[in-house]
Chain A
Amino acid sequence: MARKNQGPEAHSKIPEQLKTWSDQVDQPENVNRIINALYTVCALLVVVDPFVHKHGPFEIEHIWGFYVLCGTITSVGLVIVAKVLRVILMKPEDYYDQ
Chain B
Amino acid sequence: MISELNPGIILIAGALLIPVLPNSWRNPYMIAIPVAAFAYVLGLPIGEFGKIQLFDMTLTTLRVDNLSLTFGYIFLIATLIGVIYALHIGDSIQHTAGMIYAGSAVGAAFAGDLVTLFVFWELTAIASVFLIWAARTQRAYDAGQRYLIIQIGSGVILLAGILIYYRDTGSIAFNAIGIETLAGQIMLVAIGIKCAFPLLHNWLQDAYPEATITGTVILSAFTTKLAVYALARGYAGTDILIPIGAIMAAFPLFYGIIENDLRRVLAYALNNQLGFMVVGVGIGTELAINGVAAHAFVHILYKSLLFMAVGAVLFRVGTAKASELGGLVRDMPLTLVFYLIGAAAIALPFFSGFVAKSLIVSAALKGEHFWAWMTLVLASAGVFLICGLRLPYVIFWQPTSAPYKDKKEVPVNMLIAMGAAAALCIGIGVYYHPLYAILPYNVKYAPYTLDHIVTQLQIVAFTMLVFTFMLRRNFFPTAKNSILMEVDWFYRKLSYNIAVTLTLMAQASWRIMINNIVQVAADLEKWINTHHSTGSIFGRTWPTGNMAFWATVMLGGYLILLYFR
Contacts from A to B (Cβ < 8 Å): 1-3, 6, 10-15, 18-19, 21-23, 25-26, 35, 38-39, 41-42, 45-46, 48-49, 52-58, 65, 67-68, 70-76, 78-79, 81-83, 85-86, 88-93, 95-96
A selection of 17 A-B contacts at a CB cut-off of 8 Å is A3-B330, A11-B331, A38-B464, A42-B462, A52-B450, A58-B373, A70-B462, A71-B462, A71-B463, A75-B381, A79-B477, A83-B477, A89-B485, A91-B482, A91-B484, A93-B481, A95-B483
Stretch with Cβ within 8 A of A (4 or more), from B62-70, B95-103, B251-259: B251-259
A71 touches B454 (CB 8 A): no
Bound-state CA distance A57–B364 (Å) is 10
Q: Verify if B470 is at the interface (C-beta below 8 Å from A).
A: yes
Q: A-facing mask of B457-470, CB < 8 A → 1, else 0?
A: 11111111111101
Q: Indicate the member of B368, B370, B466, B475 with the most A CB atoms within 10 Å.
A: B466
3 smallest CB-CB distances across A and B, nearest first, come from: A2-B327, A71-B462, A75-B466
Q: Which of B498-518 contact A (CB under 8 A)?
A: none
Q: A-facing mask of B363-398, CB < 8 A → 1, else 0?
A: 001101010010001110110010000000000011
Tell which of B330, B368, B466 touches A11, judged by Cβ atoms closer than 8 Å. B330
* Nearest-Cβ distance from residue B523 to partner chain A, whole angstroms: 44
| Residues from chain B with Cβ under 8 Å of A65 in the complex | 458
Chain B residue nearest to A12 (CB atoms) is B408
Bound-state CA distance A53–B454 (Å) is 10
Bound-state CA distance A48–B366 (Å) is 25
Query: Can you name 9 extra interface pairs (CB under 8 A) apart from A6-B330, A71-B466?
Result: A18-B334, A22-B329, A26-B329, A58-B368, A67-B377, A71-B465, A72-B462, A74-B382, A78-B253
| Residues from chain B with Cβ under 8 Å of A49 in the complex | 454, 458
| Residues from chain B with Cβ under 8 Å of A52 in the complex | 450-451, 454-455
Chain A residue nearest to B364 (CB atoms) is A56
B336 touches A3 (CB 8 A): no
* Nearest-Cβ distance from residue A97 to partner chain B, whole angstroms: 9
Known pairs A57-B365, A68-B458, A79-B470; A2 contacts B483 (CB<8 A): no
Bound-state CA distance A68–B481 (Å) is 34
Bound-state CA distance A68–B456 (Å) is 9
Q: Verify if B433 is at the interface (C-beta below 8 Å from A).
A: no
Known pairs A2-B397, A3-B399, A78-B253; A22 contacts B333 (CB<8 A): yes
Q: Indicate the member of A1, A23, A65 with the most B CB atoms within 10 Å.
A: A1
Chain B residue nearest to A71 (CB atoms) is B462
| Residues from chain B with Cβ under 8 Å of A45 in the complex | 454, 457-458, 461-462
| Residues from chain B with Cβ under 8 Å of A18 in the complex | 333-334, 337
B254 touches A74 (CB 8 A): no
Q: Verify if B167 is at the interface (C-beta below 8 Å from A).
A: no
A53 touches B451 (CB 8 A): yes
Q: Which of B2-60 contact A (CB under 8 A)?
A: none
* Nearest-Cβ distance from residue A95 to partner chain B, whole angstroms: 6
Bound-state CA distance A53–B486 (Å) is 43
Bound-state CA distance A93–B261 (Å) is 11
Contacts from B to A (Cβ < 8 Å): 253-255, 257-258, 326-327, 329-331, 333-334, 336-337, 365-366, 368, 370, 373, 377-379, 381-382, 385, 397-401, 407-409, 449-451, 454-468, 470, 475-477, 480-486, 492-493
| Residues from chain A with Cβ under 8 Å of B329 in the complex | 2, 22, 25-26
Tell which of B366, B373, B456, B465 touches A38, judged by Cβ atoms closer than 8 Å. B465
Bound-state CA distance A73–B477 (Å) is 17
| Residues from chain A with Cβ under 8 Å of B365 in the complex | 55-58
Known pairs A67-B458, A74-B385, A91-B484; A96 contacts B492 (CB<8 A): yes
B451 touches A13 (CB 8 A): no
| Residues from chain B with Cβ under 8 Å of A10 in the complex | 330-331, 407
| Residues from chain B with Cβ under 8 Å of A1 in the complex | 397, 399
B484 touches A89 (CB 8 A): yes
B398 touches A2 (CB 8 A): yes
Known pairs A74-B385, A83-B477; A93 contacts B378 (CB<8 A): no
A70 touches B451 (CB 8 A): no
Bound-state CA distance A2–B330 (Å) is 9
| Residues from chain A with Cβ under 8 Å of B253 in the complex | 78
* Nearest-Cβ distance from residue A15 to partner chain B, whole angstroms: 8
Bound-state CA distance A85–B457 (Å) is 29
| Residues from chain B with Cβ under 8 Å of A72 in the complex | 462-463, 465-466
Known pairs A1-B399, A2-B398, A89-B485; A75 contacts B326 (CB<8 A): no
Tell which of B381, B408, B465 touches A42, judged by Cβ atoms closer than 8 Å. B465
Known pairs A57-B365, A73-B378, A78-B257; A41 contacts B461 (CB<8 A): yes
Tell which of B330, B331, B377, B476 touches A70, judged by Cβ atoms closer than 8 Å. B377
Bound-state CA distance A54–B401 (Å) is 48
Bound-state CA distance A3–B408 (Å) is 15
| Residues from chain B with Cβ under 8 Å of A68 in the complex | 458-459, 462
Bound-state CA distance A92–B260 (Å) is 11
Known pairs A70-B377, A75-B467; A90 contacts B258 (CB<8 A): yes
| Residues from chain B with Cβ under 8 Å of A25 in the complex | 329
